[in-house]
Structure 1
Amino acid sequence: MIRNIIPTSSIFKSYDIRGIYPDEINEDNIYLITQSILKFFQDQAKNTNVKVGVSHDMRLSAPKLYPGALQALKDGGACVWNFDLLSTPTFYFAVSHNNLPFGFILSASHNSPRYTGFKIVTNINNKIIKVGKNSGLDTIKKYSISGLKNKHTGGGIIERESILKDEVDSALSKVDISKIKPIKIVVDAANAMGSLYIEELFSRLPCKLVKMNFNLDGSFPAHDPNPLVDKNLIDVRKKVVEVGADLGIAPDGDGDRIIFIDENGEKIPASFLGSLIIKKLLQRYKGATIMFSVTEILTPRSITEEMGGKFIITPVGHTHITNLMHQSNALFAGEISGHYFFKDTGGTESGVFTIVNVLEILSSLAKPISQLIHDVRRSFASGEYNFSTDKADIIMERLKSDYKSGSLMTIDGIAVDYPTWRFSVRSSNTEPLIRLNVEARTQEGMKVKLNELINKIKALGAKKHND
């Protein structure tokens, strides 16, 4: 039975739809939410019989929710391409590769088991546009809370075969496979979606794969699928050292973020790993445009400029970055959360493209990954510090005044640059937090400025937040 229960408006976030199952997203409202997404697609196409690619992740709620979503699309007149179980990057590839104008994946990324949600895209000339708050999500929200009815004839469902082989073929066509050596790699898939593309990729390469937590299980029995939380990396870091691996890899829940571990079991900052890729790509694509998010830019910008590329700073957030890549015709982009974006994948994240580029670099340069990172490092970064506060605007105005001698940027909170160091402070989109990042050309300089800023922020009433 179809139950058109109006969802709470709080599930509509900045970049996606996300909520707790069954409290916020459930069998009672999945139909209405999906029909509202479809109505947005139909508005864009000025046609009711649109093609829509859909898939879902391994969450325990997916078998209960996905059938209702498919039915809503069919009842609304859509031609549904059902790709079933996919990671988010593979879903993006499926939409682009098949030239589908619209799509969504039922997923809650790296969140804990009780969450579910939608990541929604449109596709123009194989350029993926992610639907966020200012690019359609507000319209979908309006339709959902109005109790929209969207019935049209002509709908149907086409079951599609796995797209994984095509995705891996595409990635491998961009590198010299003959250069990839039998590297030993540990991957902790966190019982989540990255295991699918990892299995397919490494079945085609001479590398020795040491697998951890590869069986799909939406209860995440080993640990939460968020590799940005240090405790979730403990096992993979130990295993890399234990087996003498050359590299460790930890994808997140839906596979669109990847954290890398060096041969010593140390986490590699994404801005440094991204800089390795930047250097490789700019050797081939002279003068190309590179992007990195505002929180950490010193090393990526330095490497880009040394290699003759053009560097653009972006706001934080995968939706912003993908859409800005199209505007600037950027070759590559990254951010410290482990999202790596490629022009070749429609401006979206790709775990497969990221991994094959790293493997080619590691194989061809014949140095440990820690040495390669040392060679590109041009700065020292604090990592992200979070502070609880309901006075974010007041704190940022005070910091702007205190550091007015620096060069100010306001594309996402505030960022202030000096010749040898910089910092950024921005508000969380979802919590009463501000986030601080500090970079400097020397480690000592970074520590001094980090302590200085922490003390200032605390003095303004914020409390250090325990993530």
Structure 2
Amino acid sequence: MHARFSAVTKAYDVRGTTPDQLDASLALAFGRAYAREVGVAGGGGAVVVGHDMRDTSPELAGAIADGVRAEGGDVVMVGFASTDMLYAASGRLDLPGVMVTASHNPAGYNGFKVCRAGARPIGFDTGLSAIAEVASELLDEPAPEPRGTLTERDFLSEYADLVVGLAPVSGRRLTVAVDAGNGMAGHTARAVLDQLDVDVLPLYFELDGTFPNHEANPLDASTLVDLQAAVREHGADLGLAFDGDADRCFVVDERGEPVSPSAITALIGARYLAAQPGATILHNAICSKAVPEIVAERGGTAVRTPVGHSLIKAEMARTGAVFGGEHSGHFYFRDFYLADSGMLAALHVMGALAESDRPVSALMAEFERYAASGEVNSTVADASAVIEELAQAYADHPQDRLDGLTVTGPDWWFNVRASNTEPLLRLNVEGDDEQVMARVRDEALAVIGK
């Protein structure tokens, strides 16, 4: 693989800084290789392409489209899109898809998320590395003149109709503060929420890939401050925060307090089990143990999975699960082509709230059972060696290696896993109460710190 591609090809997508790592020449070669991988080269069909609001995204999307067309494939360009809107277009049109986005990364980054027809995922081991290998060979080769066609299509209203149809909201009228972070929810949220009986308090809906107000990364608590203030000031029923490509959604309650994505997973899982008794619900390895408990109590089957969208989508297909949640704020839906959608998750939360006469804090109380540390990142030279040291330090406790290392105690558990992209070890700890969690967190960090 060419050094330029090895630097930017990750486990689930292509991502790097622009223009030094990602530029139009790399995107052109990627588009050509992608056309071959998904079978549209030589006139074998079409690819749908969308992009986010970053300054470099239109050029990169255009270069990918040129690469596909140079191989004889056709392109349906949907323009500005959230990642879940691109998945919806791939599913509804039954076409392979490319989304140009760097999600929550800072302004200097960009990237490509890709899927096969029907929004089926492509990860490193299921086609992405093969695309990068072929693209490496094409990088310095002049591309043929485009032979395929280019069609522009506005898919926004179809996307909005699809998600509202899957999770209708009815009941009392809600006031909802929405922080788009100058990301793609500024394009999609209004189209969706205008169909609902809600009052919207919009924050940072202007598309701006320089992120002038704050990074579009709700996992960072500092980016929620403006949303929390707006909820409190205006007496909103809840607040929604989306990341840059709007495939993740985070919730704050009427007090402005963040709601755990694990609790959202349990809530949405409970809604599906009420409608489809006995259904299977997925949860990843760092979700709260409250999730499988609640699924079991409501007659469902809980299946624990590794972190990562390609793995979760494959497991959904294998198990027939109706829904899956990750503690990072990704939520996956069988009736949404097995894909993740922050907007669809938001609609489920609003639907549950509108049907209830309780505030969000009371609605979620039954799903928030334990004390969690949140993700604690440590910079380490050798993540694998540190994980083995932790395994030895806790050798007398049950352990598993489904995703990193999970150690379980009588009233606590922790998971530690290496980052795919940075020299970091990610620790998540949960205890039956705050004191237990803090003790185990500090003990584990002491081993990591050695």
Report the TM-score, using the length of structure 1 for normalisation.
0.92
- Matched letter for residue 191 of structure 1: N
Is 1:39 aligned to residue 36 of structure 2?
Answer: yes
Is 1:421 aligned to residue 412 of structure 2?
Answer: yes
In 2, are the aligned partners of 1:104 and 1:119 still within 8 Å (CA)?
yes
- Matched letter for residue 152 of structure 2: E
Structure 1 residues 284-299: aligned runs within 5 Å: 284-299=275-290
Of 386, 389, 397, 1:395 maps to: 386
In 2, are the aligned partners of 1:6 and 1:147 still within 8 Å (CA)?
no
Is 1:281 aligned to residue 272 of structure 2?
Answer: yes
1:401 to partner: Cα distance: 2.2
Is 1:370 aligned to residue 361 of structure 2?
Answer: yes
1:165 to partner: Cα distance: 2.1
Query: Relative to structure 1, is the Cα distance of residues 436 and 75 closer, same or farther in structure 2, using a 3 angstrom cutoff?
Result: same
Is 1:58 aligned to residue 53 of structure 2?
Answer: yes
- Report the Cα distance in structure 2 between the residues aligned to 1:395 and 1:20, rounded to whole angstroms: 29
Is 1:155 aligned to residue 148 of structure 2?
Answer: yes
Tell which deviates more after alignment, 285-294 or 88-97: 285-294
Query: Relative to structure 1, is the Cα distance of residues 409 and 122 closer, same or farther in structure 2, using a 3 angstrom cutoff?
Result: same
Is 1:110 aligned to residue 107 of structure 2?
Answer: no
In 1, are the aligned partners of 2:41 and 2:68 still within 8 Å (CA)?
no
1:152 to partner: Cα distance: 8.7
- Report the Cα distance in structure 1 between the residues aligned to 2:269 and 2:434, rounded to whole angstroms: 23
Instruction: Report the aligned-residue RMSD.
Output: 1.9
Of 370, 380, 388, 1:379 maps to: 370
In 2, are the aligned partners of 1:61 and 1:116 still within 8 Å (CA)?
yes
Is 1:94 aligned to residue 94 of structure 2?
Answer: no
- Report the Cα distance in structure 1 between the residues aligned to 2:120 and 2:127, rounded to whole angstroms: 10
Tell which deviates more after alignment, 371-380 or 240-249: 371-380
Runs of 4+ in 1 over 3 A off after TM superposition: 5-8, 45-48, 148-154, 174-177
Structure 1 residues 203-242: aligned runs within 5 Å: 203-242=194-233
In 2, are the aligned partners of 1:190 and 1:253 still within 8 Å (CA)?
yes
1:173 to partner: Cα distance: 2.5
- Report the Cα distance in structure 2 between the residues aligned to 1:432 and 1:153, rounded to whole angstroms: 41
% identical aligned pairs:
32
Tell which deviates more after alignment, 142-151 or 309-318: 142-151
- Report the Cα distance in structure 2 between the residues aligned to 1:332 and 1:290, rounded to whole angstroms: 5
Structure 1 residues 11-410: aligned runs within 5 Å: 11-42=8-39, 48-100=43-95, 102-123=96-117, 126=118, 128-147=119-138, 151=144, 154-160=147-153, 162-177=154-169, 179-410=170-401
Deviations 1:63-92 (A, max 9, x none): 332322222211110021111111000000
SS at match of 1:404: coil
Instruction: Name structure 1 gaps, 5 residues minimum.
Output: 461-467
Query: Relative to structure 1, is the Cα distance of residues 85 and 424 closer, same or farther in structure 2, using a 3 angstrom cutoff?
Result: same
SS at match of 1:354: helix
Tell which deviates more after alignment, 349-358 or 165-174: 165-174
Report the TM-score, using the length of structure 2 for normalisation.
0.95
- Report the Cα distance in structure 1 between the residues aligned to 2:164 and 2:63, rounded to whole angstroms: 37
- Matched letter for residue 14 of structure 2: I
1:168 to partner: Cα distance: 2.4
- Report the Cα distance in structure 2 between the residues aligned to 1:176 and 1:84, rounded to whole angstroms: 26
In 1, are the aligned partners of 2:406 and 2:415 still within 8 Å (CA)?
yes
Deviations 1:28-85 (A, max 9, x none): 332112112212122xx78652321111111101233232222221111002111111
- Report the Cα distance in structure 1 between the residues aligned to 2:429 and 2:414, rounded to whole angstroms: 4
